[in-house]
Structure 1
Amino acid sequence: MHLHYHRAVFFPPGPGLPAFSVVGYVDDQEIESYNSDVCQSVPKTEWMKKLGPEYWERETKHNQIAEIACKQQLQAIKKQFTKTQGLHVYQEIFGCELSDDGSTVAALYNMQGYNGKDLMYLDTQKWLWIPVVNEARFFTHAWNQPGTSETEKWKNYLTNTCVGQLKNILALGREDLKKKVVPEVKVWGHHQSDGVTRLYCLVYGFYPQTVHVKWMRNGVDYIPSDKMSPILPHPDGTYRIRVSVEVPQVEEDAYSCHVEHSSLQE
């Protein structure tokens, strides 16, 4: 189980595109959000509401402070790059992961990006910032100085606050987070041209998100898919994916859609 937050700053902002936004997840389930249009942290599940108004007031204040800092960071990053026109995006993903039994910390991380590309990340073994591009060295050099508040801030947050918060959230939402919903499967074919058929396999209504879908020939041969949709969410909290392949029309061959999902192993 892991708790992770995605922050994004857009400049200039536009209609339907807040200048700043934060979305929190436990694994693949959205649990809270904040953006600069609403200026308030809100729960995204019923069980997160149990944390009460004081928690959400603290989260709101924390995100309001983060909004100021992230906007300043975007402006500082822009100065390190030659591009000055158009849309600029600063992104940050950070969080913590616990082992399956919750007894040990499996991972801690902070990764930052600019305009869709990796910028730098925090090595949480050595507690050093690592630049991915040369333009990030301005920041990593400054943050890697002994006693730098930026590094100490993240070390304290990831090792203490994040881990403690994840344990608390898991205690509240364990039943919902541990649920497993068996996928539904629908298959069909469409004749493309002489001797060729495109086969479709739609897998939907499953939870959790991780799933493996593949087409098989005669129950043995795996057929690489040439078209696969991303795993998309449903409003009810489940997911869907569609996988398709082109195959020759050979009467002796039988094709089947093979689905692997944790709910099918019970």
Structure 2
Amino acid sequence: MACYISLVFLLGFPAVYSGSPTLQYYITMLSTAYPGLPQFSIIAFVDDVRYGRYNSDTRRAEPLIQSLMVFSEQLESLTKLAQQTELTQKLFMTLIMDLLNKTYDINYVFQIQAACVLHEDGTVDICKDTALDGKQLLVFDKERVEIVPVTQEAVLLAQWVNKQGYAKKYKIFMENECTQHLPSFLPCIKSYLDKKVPHVKLSGSESGTKLHCRVYGFYPRDVEVKWIKNGRDEIHSEEAAQILPNPDGTYQIRVSVGVTPEGGATYSCHIDHSSLENPLVVPFETETKNSHITYILIAVGVIVLFLAFGLGFFIQRRMKGFKDGQQSVNTNEQETTQQENIL
């Protein structure tokens, strides 16, 4: 199987799914320091699970999964390796700026995506792509084991990199990472994700002509989601539904269908996943009724609040009137007494 990694730069991390265990490193380097952002950072993934990170502010390799804390010796070596890579990339960034005639009055973003895929037969595929400000610059040719320029302006840069023998060094490093480190990480990743049950949220358009079934937080990746009308008729979606990764390594998908409002028609979303003993059926009407009940409860609460406020205001006015009347009576009695005393 060829090593295919979809490449999306601009500080975004693509979804990667090859069917075989994949180790990935995303490296970002800014040409100048920028407030609030580390100038250099590395984020490490196993498949779609972000398991570690390093940046120029902390200068430490940090595991993002608790079970990986046991690899203390590897963390120390990864920290040293990341620190060395940071220094190398700063020098490389300077070289890029000089060879491409860039000035430092603009903050350029240089990114590297390095990956290796470990197949069942023990073979390893290696990938590497680099970009500057979101535009592909260099790629790794695994057949010739050399760096190939994507644009004309990157020709001199590719020649310099190949002259230093970086392509061969990179191939050896990534093959070692995939055959030695990746297998040791996989059990931790698997136990961290081990069959997470999907969560479901249904919603519809205001006109009632479109229904959405969002399924999220599930693992493994494979899932079947479909809309059923009247308990038997499947509604086919006109939109292509994609399974997307979440930052915690789980997945999400949204299946939307167009419907024609009909009296008495019922709709339900059916989810089939390996974490479930039986397919999950979520009726759309349940959420609609709950929403209506919620609105009714809110309305009743507002009415009760106004009634309580009005009653309190009425009692306060009555008490004030009573006190004013009592005070008037007391005043009259005092005046009568005074007049009697004078007489």
TM range (shorter): 0.7 to 0.9
Residues 140, 258 of structure 1: alpha-carbon distance in 2 compared, 3 angstrom cutoff: farther
**How many angstroms apart in 2 are the aligned matches of 1:142 and 1:48?**
38
Superposition map of 1:27-38 within 5 A: 27-38=47-58
Task: Deviation per CA, 1:102-148: give whole Å up to 9, x if none.
Answer: x4224211111111121111111220212222222112223334xx4
Aligned to 1:182: 197
Whether contact under 8 Å (2:48, 2:245) holds in the other structure is no
Match of 1:224 among 209, 217, 239: 239
Aligned to 1:107: 125
Residues 231, 156 of structure 1: alpha-carbon distance in 2 compared, 3 angstrom cutoff: closer
Residues 212, 107 of structure 1: alpha-carbon distance in 2 compared, 3 angstrom cutoff: farther
Q: Which amino acid aligns with 2:159?
A: H
Aligned to 1:62: 81
TM-score, with length taken from structure 2: 0.63
Aligned to 2:143: 125
Superposition map of 1:147-166 within 5 A: 148-166=164-182
Residues 88, 47 of structure 1: alpha-carbon distance in 2 compared, 3 angstrom cutoff: same
Q: Whose strand fraction is larger, Structure 1's or Structure 2's?
A: 1
**How many angstroms apart in 1 are the aligned matches of 2:224 and 2:112?**
28
Do structure 1's residue 233 and structure 2's residue 251 form an aligned pair? no
**How many angstroms apart in 2 are the aligned matches of 1:130 and 1:265?**
50
Residue range with higher mean Cα deviation, 211-220 or 104-113: 211-220
Whether contact under 8 Å (2:237, 2:256) holds in the other structure is no
**How many angstroms apart in 2 are the aligned matches of 1:187 and 1:16?**
38
Task: Deviation per CA, 1:131-185: give whole Å up to 9, x if none.
Answer: 222222112223334xx43122112102224421112323x52642672223122
**How many angstroms apart in 2 are the aligned matches of 1:265 and 1:131?**
51
Do structure 1's residue 90 and structure 2's residue 110 form an aligned pair? yes
Task: Report percent identity of matched pairs.
Answer: 32
RMSD in angstroms over aligned alpha carbons?
A: 3.2
- In structure 2, stretches of 5+ residues that fail to align are 1-20, 279-343
Whether contact under 8 Å (1:123, 1:129) holds in the other structure is yes
Residues 239, 159 of structure 1: alpha-carbon distance in 2 compared, 3 angstrom cutoff: closer
- In structure 1, stretches of 5+ residues that fail to align are none
Whether contact under 8 Å (1:28, 1:209) holds in the other structure is no
Aligned length: 254
Q: Secondary structure at the match of 2:54?
A: strand
Do structure 1's residue 16 and structure 2's residue 5 form an aligned pair? no
TM-score, with length taken from structure 1: 0.79
Aligned to 1:168: 184
Q: Which amino acid aligns with 2:204?
A: G
Task: Deviation per CA, 1:223-261: give whole Å up to 9, x if none.
Answer: 216x98964435xx5344445455553569876556575
Whether contact under 8 Å (2:198, 2:218) holds in the other structure is yes
Superposition map of 1:183-262 within 5 A: 183-192=198-207, 197-208=209-220, 218-219=233-234, 221-224=236-239, 231-233=245-247, 238-244=250-256, 247-249=259-261, 257=269
**How many angstroms apart in 1 are the aligned matches of 2:226 and 2:91?**
46
Q: Which amino acid aligns with 2:83?
A: Q
Q: Secondary structure at the match of 1:64?
A: helix
Q: Secondary structure at the match of 1:222?
A: coil
Residues 201, 95 of structure 1: alpha-carbon distance in 2 compared, 3 angstrom cutoff: same
**How many angstroms apart in 1 are the aligned matches of 2:97 and 2:65?**
36
